Amino acid sequence: MKRVSWILGVVLAAASAPPAGAQWKPNEKIEAYAISGRTGIELYESIGENGPKVSLGRTIAYTTFDLKWSRRYVPENGGCRLASARPHLTIIYKLPKPSGPLPAAMQRLWDRFIAGITAHERVHGEMILDMVKKIEATSIGLTVADDPKCRKIRQELTTRLAALSEEQRRKSREFDRVEMSDGGNVHQLILALVNGE
């Protein structure tokens, strides 16, 4: 039996922007994709055939997000100030789900596997949330001189946000590298599912 390995990925949706200051909470959405099989290896093979496609191929699961902003720009003394920036964030988890009932022993193995995969993906969700909070902190109060039409400030904001987005992606890649390395948490979850441990 050949060993096949798929990686978990994070796909980042494009961000746009809004006002700040007030308390807000992200929304969460779980999207399931159907897999089939009654044994660990059958389920894992089905994940490989049906898992979401991302840049590097099929994944077991991934976390993405939809981010929109309500922003208020205020012309001030010939310049422009970003007075408020409120995020509207939905974190989306894409996870596998067996399409039919499993034997009792397999159901226990599956429950442990999917709980571990879900916990892994929620770490990615926390990284996304942290990035959005940093964007909010960087945005509110940003001032650009000689910008009465509030155009330059948007360019400045885009530059700052690109750096925060890249930092989040780097952290996410590093987390996956550790989790999916030989002996890593995700690797152990896969082995336990496939080998019935």
Considering only CA atoms, which of 96, 142, 98 is closest in space to residue 120?
Answer: 96
Dig out the tokens for 138 from the structure.
């960087």
The full set of domain ranges for the chain reads: 9-195
pLDDT at 37: 96
In terms of DSSP bridges, do strands 79-98 and 143-144 run parallel, antiparallel, or are they unpaired?
antiparallel
pLDDT at 197: 67
> DSSP class of residue 12?
P
Residue 14: phi and psi, rounded to 5, are -70, 145
In terms of DSSP bridges, do strands 27-35 and 79-98 run parallel, antiparallel, or are they unpaired?
parallel
Residues 12 and 28: their CA atoms lie apart, in Å, by 15
**Along the 197 residues of the chain, how does pLDDT read in single tens digits?**
323 222 233 222 223 333 334 489 999 999 999 999 999 999 999 999 999 988 778 899 999 999 999 999 999 999 999 999 999 999 999 999 999 999 999 999 999 999 999 999 999 999 999 999 999 999 999 999 999 999 999 999 999 999 999 999 999 999 999 999 999 999 999 999 999 86
Q: How many Cβ atoms sit within 10 Å of the Cβ of residue 178?
A: 11
Neighbouring C-alpha atoms within 13 Å toward the C-beta of 141: 4
pLDDT at 7: 28
Dig out the tokens for 36 from the structure.
């089939």
> DSSP class of residue 15?
B
Cβ atoms 1, 66 nearer than 8 A: no
Q: How far is CA 145 from the centre of its chain?
A: 35
Residues 100 and 96: their CA atoms lie apart, in Å, by 12
| Residue reference for tokens 């055939």 | 49
